[in-house]
Structure 1
Amino acid sequence: MKKIIYLVAIAALFACKEQKKEDVAQEPVVDTPKQWLVFEGNSLNSKHIVLVSGDEEYRSEEALPQLAKILSKHHGFKCTVLFAQNPDTPGIVDANYVKNIPGLEALDVADMMVLFTRFRALPDKQMQHFENYLKAGKPLIAIRTATHAFNFKEDDTTNFAHYSNGYSGDKTEWTDGFGRLVLGEKWDSHHGHHKHQSTRGVMAETAISHSIANGITSGSIWGATDVYGVRLPLPGDSEPIILGQVINRAGEFDENDLFFGMKPTDTELATENNTGLKVNDVLMPIAWTKSYQIPGGTKGKAFTSTIGAASDMLNESVRRLLVNGVFWAMELPVPENANVGLIGTYKPSAYGFKTEAYWIEKQLKISDLETIEN
């Protein structure tokens, strides 16, 4: 009798376990959306590069994953790519949402930062990671709109208003904000006619032998993004590497074309832009080096390139310029002719502002930007 009771109890126990398994199997599986990307290096000791995207216009959310893939697959760096996101829709890129970039704590252990943001107004907890990184004097590459990476409004509650583009407050050492103090320039102007005149990069005479210029032929850099204006001379020990010629369009304007009707084969030097400004009499630097030191911090190295939008990245020399800058900033030997071949299928979008409705409809998942193809 006891044996029968025992066997019945065992059977009941197994039945209970099977029911629990069935209940678990029937519960919906909720995947945690990926909020940033990590591309591993070639060893446990690989240098760690954190690439921070977040601009409304030049598709940094497309450019930086491709750059990260190149740096990881061709050069063995560990790369983490961060994105602007609305907290209500984590894992979905929302370049127009200026108050949130998850994952910035990665900067605390980073060896290198690549920054491509525009007018961000991040919470203090996130801004503190930038502050700590810069105080440590770690190397930095800034792309295009990173000259105006941050911007807080007067009614924003923040301890980092001095990072704002054009800052003019009591912290006089921060006059004109992060861009001017750290990189050498803030947002100044469109020197070329936006969407109508392209940029061709030529070597600065003093930089022909600079390691950042390795493998780059003068004139081989081209992008449909126009030359940015800067105030000359650039401050401190800034050293121009590439100068930007303003190039007229040979064909017609085409709003639906990736390059708006401009082509890499365009060669005519512009005499003036749409405002009548003489644009090629004195060429603006579009890539330069500079040391930086924020108050209370250690001295560091910065490299700025105002060319580098997602569509600019189709140009091999633009990619090589950025890769060379990474090696230079980290004080690593710069390859003579770095491998900058595109990874996988890369079909960037044309630059231009998008509405909030666009981002809601697009639903660009960060996980969709991860795939590496041979």
Structure 2
Amino acid sequence: MLLRYLILSLTIVALAQTGFAQTLVYDGTTPDKPGKHLVFLAGDHEYRSEESLPAMARILAKHHGFKCTVLFSVDQKTGEIAPGSSYMPGTEALDDADLMVIFLRFQDFPAEQMQPIVDYLDRAGPVVGMRTSTHAFKIPNDSEFVRFDYRSKDPDFKDGFGRQILGETWAGHYGQNHVMSTRLDLIPAQKSHPILKGVEHPWVHAGGYWTEPTPDSVVLANAQPLQGMTPDSPPAEGKLPCPGVWTRTYSNEAGKSGRVFTTTYGASEDILNEDFRRLMINACFWACGEEDEIKPNLNIEFVGPYNPTTFKFNGHRRGVLPSDLAGWESPIMPITKPVTE
């Protein structure tokens, strides 16, 4: 029975269904190592969070013994992954989560899906925020959740989730996608930080975002836009570096603090870079309090085929259900599925 349990927990992905909606779970825990529960929210329109997040989740589950739940924005009628649909069943998984990894853009979820996110933040749960999560929510003024809007005017929650939790809201592009890639230059004074263990020269495909994080943020790397799509491209003319990776903490009403890691990168092709992928895996360890487990040679190899789609608006693979990504060896994404134009 014990052997059967180990095989099931290490190699089978559980799918909890409500109608067509599916919650994807990669479970690497074992009876002697009940790993922490990490919940990933994939729901942006452009940068293929539906690819980068399950790939990261598999690494953390298979190689490092975490339980990783991956949620997607989906089509309400078909259950297919629909980037940016503002419909994400399963957020109640956050009720017992030890970490929320968030990669959303301009979402306005139904109340029953938004409330677990609010409850998680109210208990000061740790957060890893990626790319468009600086503007994760676009919420109308008549909503009870309007304070989370990326342009929130609430004096106690100005500029919403992005600024108040991650440390920055949407401030604009700072480098043209697919023309200017980005080099992430580590801050020398922070090279001993656990998140930077084994990280040397991260480089990403995505163009830059301009950022001015909150003063309490600790910048780990500056983003230098490059005039070209290779790591050795020269710096883009007239574009000085700005923060691209940082940490901070936020507090709930009871004074409890939660760790936050934010990067304005993380697109589908960004995690092909080993140094950036290591940075992200290390960040998840650190945010949930497992920094003592971070080693310079931590295993960050992809689990199963990873076939990233070049990111763009309306560029996702159509007809993909969360269940299509189940198991350790199912391709992310299945290349037989057509890409929207």
Q: TM-score range by the shorter chain?
A: 0.7 to 0.9
Task: Give the match for residue 349 of structure 1.
Answer: 309
Q: For residues 10-49 of structure 1, what are the structure 2 equivalents within 5 Å?
A: 33=20, 35-44=22-31, 45-49=34-38
Q: How far is the alpha carbon of 1:365 from its aligned partner?
A: 1.5
1:230 maps to 2:211? yes
SS at match of 2:165: helix
Q: Check the 8 A contact 2:160/2:169 in 1, yes or no.
A: yes
SS at match of 2:181: strand
1:335 maps to 2:305? no
Task: Give the match for residue 122 of structure 2.
Answer: 135
User: Which of 74, 81, 87 is equivalent to 1:93?
Assistant: 81
Letter of the aligned partner of 1:292 in structure 2? Y
| CA distance in structure 2 between the aligned counterparts of 1:96 and 1:214, rounded to whole angstroms | 33
1:126 maps to 2:113? yes
1:158 maps to 2:143? yes
Q: Check the 8 A contact 1:123/1:158 in 2, yes or no.
A: no
The count of residues paired between Structure 1 and Structure 2 equals 309
Letter of the aligned partner of 1:337 in structure 2? N
1:190 maps to 2:179? no
TM-score (norm 1): 0.79
SS at match of 1:229: coil
Q: Check the 8 A contact 1:135/1:297 in 2, yes or no.
A: no
1:263 maps to 2:230? yes
Q: For residues 54-73 of structure 1, what are the structure 2 equivalents within 5 Å?
A: 54-73=43-62
| CA distance in structure 2 between the aligned counterparts of 1:126 and 1:298, rounded to whole angstroms | 24
Q: Check the 8 A contact 2:123/2:252 in 1, yes or no.
A: no
| CA distance in structure 1 between the aligned counterparts of 2:280 and 2:307, rounded to whole angstroms | 19
Q: How far is the alpha carbon of 1:295 from its aligned partner?
A: 4.5
Letter of the aligned partner of 1:263 in structure 2? T
SS at match of 2:120: helix
TM-score (norm 2): 0.86
Q: How far is the alpha carbon of 1:371 from its aligned partner?
A: 3.4
| CA distance in structure 2 between the aligned counterparts of 1:347 and 1:62, rounded to whole angstroms | 8
User: Which of 187, 199, 203 is equivalent to 2:182?
Assistant: 199
User: Which of 217, 236, 242 is equivalent to 2:221?
Assistant: 242
Q: How far is the alpha carbon of 1:144 from its aligned partner?
A: 0.6
Q: Check the 8 A contact 1:143/1:308 in 2, yes or no.
A: yes
| CA distance in structure 2 between the aligned counterparts of 1:236 and 1:270, rounded to whole angstroms | 26
Task: Give the match for residue 279 of structure 2.
Answer: 321
SS at match of 1:174: coil
1:213 maps to 2:213? no
Larger Rg: 1
1:105 maps to 2:92? yes
Q: Check the 8 A contact 1:222/1:315 in 2, yes or no.
A: yes
Q: Check the 8 A contact 2:183/2:203 in 1, yes or no.
A: yes
Q: Check the 8 A contact 1:181/1:294 in 2, yes or no.
A: no
| CA distance in structure 2 between the aligned counterparts of 1:117 and 1:68, rounded to whole angstroms | 16
Q: Check the 8 A contact 2:84/2:104 in 1, yes or no.
A: no
Q: How far is the alpha carbon of 1:267 from its aligned partner?
A: 2.4
- After superposition, the CA RMSD in angstroms is 1.9
Shift of the 268–202 alpha-carbon distance from structure 1 to 2, 3 Å rule, reads same
Q: How far is the alpha carbon of 1:237 from its aligned partner?
A: 2.1
1:299 maps to 2:266? no
Task: Give the match for residue 11 of structure 2.
Answer: none
Structure 1: gaps (5+ residues)? 1-30, 250-261, 273-278
| CA distance in structure 2 between the aligned counterparts of 1:317 and 1:66, rounded to whole angstroms | 15
Q: How far is the alpha carbon of 1:245 from its aligned partner?
A: 1.2
| CA distance in structure 1 between the aligned counterparts of 2:289 and 2:193, rounded to whole angstroms | 13
Task: Give the match for residue 267 of structure 2.
Answer: 309
Deviations 1:259-284 (A, max 9, x none): xxx234x3211122xxxxxx12xx21
Q: Mean Cα displacement is larger for which, 201-210 or 292-301?
A: 292-301
Q: How far is the alpha carbon of 1:96 from its aligned partner?
A: 3.5
Deviations 1:62-119 (A, max 9, x none): 11110000000111100000000122122x1011312x10100000011111001111
SS at match of 1:303: strand
SS at match of 2:156: helix
Task: Give the match for residue 14 of structure 1.
Answer: none
Deviations 1:163-209 (A, max 9, x none): 001111xx311111110001110010111123311101111122111
Letter of the aligned partner of 2:211 in structure 1? V
